[in-house]
């Protein structure tokens, strides 16, 4: 999915991304592709603020019911007195889907070593993905279910291929993250916005998000405000210094790097390659194929709408955008 580009390309790409997952958002995105008047309305927003999930959430924030026909979205946008535009300018898409932990945890387990870990989330939002040890997991495989962790709260993913499904939860001894705008899980307005970002038909994701916000409220993560390209080296050094002997630092991102411009993505990849010279540090990425093209090229081409899961810059699997399934290749 493209998050930057001209309106038609961005919304056509989003329609492919939403296909089979949100009939409402697929219909809305395809409607925009053929609607020049709405395209002109969107084109007056700065490019990063035109992205479908942000605009759709802003419209819903101001009362648009969903699911609903495309005509309802069209009338809402064209009749906007400025509130939807203002919300699009002020807010960002920072859901940081906690369901992705069901595909990230196998990648964490694949990292060499068996000691405690530190977790550094690049683009952390409210830090909801910094708690893999607070969830149980159920992975459906061709040979039956594999489960680990307490009874609840729980995450599920379908798995194909020889994914390293851990028999134990990671021992997390340090957690932190970076974000341009870190979110506070204890703030009611923030929580309502994050829930609005969840796609209309995804009631299960709303329940998970409520559970994840509750975890973060009770154990607030250490989040640093700033540009990841500037803050990452220093924060990684702090995390490594705080780890006990035998500890490993896992620097990870999920659906974040596509929001950088192309030079920024290249700088990020180069920065991570430099950080990997420390044997205690490992890099896990779960990103759209175009976000890190050199990483994507190390594995087979992903199916439409799938992310590329990689460890230390080498693709190992393809994943559903919300963590519903994982295909790990031989």
What pLDDT does residue 14 have? 92
Q: pLDDT per residue over 233-267, tens digit each?
A: 999 999 999 999 999 999 999 999 998 999 999 99
What pLDDT does residue 165 have? 95
Distance CA 270, CA 192 (A): 36
Task: Assign domain 98-328 one CATH number from 4.10.320, 3.40.50, 2.60.34, 1.20.272.
Answer: 3.40.50
Distance CA 3, CA 321 (A): 14
What pLDDT does residue 114 have? 86
What pLDDT does residue 1 have? 47
Closest residue by Cα to residue 118 from 166, 175, 170? 175
Other C-beta atoms lying within 10 Å of the C-beta of residue 109: 18
8-state DSSP, 130: G
What pLDDT does residue 305 have? 83
Q: Following DSSP, what letter does each residue of 262-285 receive, concatenated?
A: HHHHHHHHHHHHHHTTSTTEEEEE
Terminal Cα-to-Cα distance of the chain (whole angstroms): 26
Q: Where are the domains of the chain?
A: 7-90, 98-328
What pLDDT does residue 259 have? 87
Tell me the two tokens of residue 263: 């030079």
Asked if residue 106 lies in contact with residue 164, where contact means CB atoms within 8 angstroms, the answer is yes
Q: Following DSSP, what letter does each residue of 42-99 receive, concatenated?
A: HHTS-GGG--HHHHHHHHHHTT--SS--HHHHHHHHHT--SHHHHHHHH-------GG
Ranges of the chain whose pLDDT falls below 70: 1-5
Other C-beta atoms lying within 10 Å of the C-beta of residue 137: 20
Give the up-direction half-sphere exposure of residue 274: CA atoms within 13 A in the CB hemisphere: 11
Closest residue by Cα to residue 269 from 247, 297, 235, 303? 297
What pLDDT does residue 94 have? 83
């Amino acid at each position: 999915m493209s998050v930057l580009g001209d309106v038609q390309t961005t919304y056509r790409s989003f329609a492919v991304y939403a296909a089979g997952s949100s009939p409402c958002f697929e219909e809305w995105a395809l409607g925009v592709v053929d609607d020049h008047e709405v395209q002109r309305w969107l084109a007056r927003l700065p490019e990063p603020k035109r992205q479908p999930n942000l605009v759709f959430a802003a419209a819903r924030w101001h009362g648009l019911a969903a699911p609903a026909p495309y005509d309802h979205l069209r009338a809402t946008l064209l009749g906007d007195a400025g509130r939807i535009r203002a919300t699009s300018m002020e807010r960002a898409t920072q859901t940081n889907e906690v369901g992705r932990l069901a595909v990230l945890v196998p990648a964490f387990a694949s990292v060499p070593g068996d000691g405690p870990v530190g977790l550094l989330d690049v683009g952390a939002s409210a830090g909801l993905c910094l708690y893999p040890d607070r969830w149980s997991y159920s992975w459906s495989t061709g040979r039956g279910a594999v489960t680990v962790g307490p009874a609840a709260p729980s995450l599920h993913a379908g798995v194909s291929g020889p994914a390293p499904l851990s028999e134990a939860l990671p021992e997390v001894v340090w957690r932190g993250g970076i974000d341009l705008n870190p979110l506070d899980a204890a703030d009611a307005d923030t929580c309502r916005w994050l829930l609005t970002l969840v796609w209309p038909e995804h009631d299960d994701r709303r329940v998970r998000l409520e559970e994840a916000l509750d975890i973060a409220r009770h154990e607030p993560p250490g989040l640093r405000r700033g540009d990841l390209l500037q803050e990452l080296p220093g924060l990684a050094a702090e995390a490594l210094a705080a780890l006990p002997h035998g500890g490993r630092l896992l620097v990870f991102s999920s659906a974040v790097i596509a929001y950088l411009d192309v030079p920024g993505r290249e700088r990020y990849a180069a920065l991570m390659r430099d950080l990997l010279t420390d044997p205690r540090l490992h890099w896990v990425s779960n990103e759209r194929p175009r976000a890190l093209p050199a990483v994507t090229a190390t594995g087979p081409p992903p199916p439409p709408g799938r992310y590329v899961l990689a460890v230390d810059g080498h693709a190992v699997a393809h994943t559903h955008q919300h963590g519903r399934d994982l295909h790990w290749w031989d």
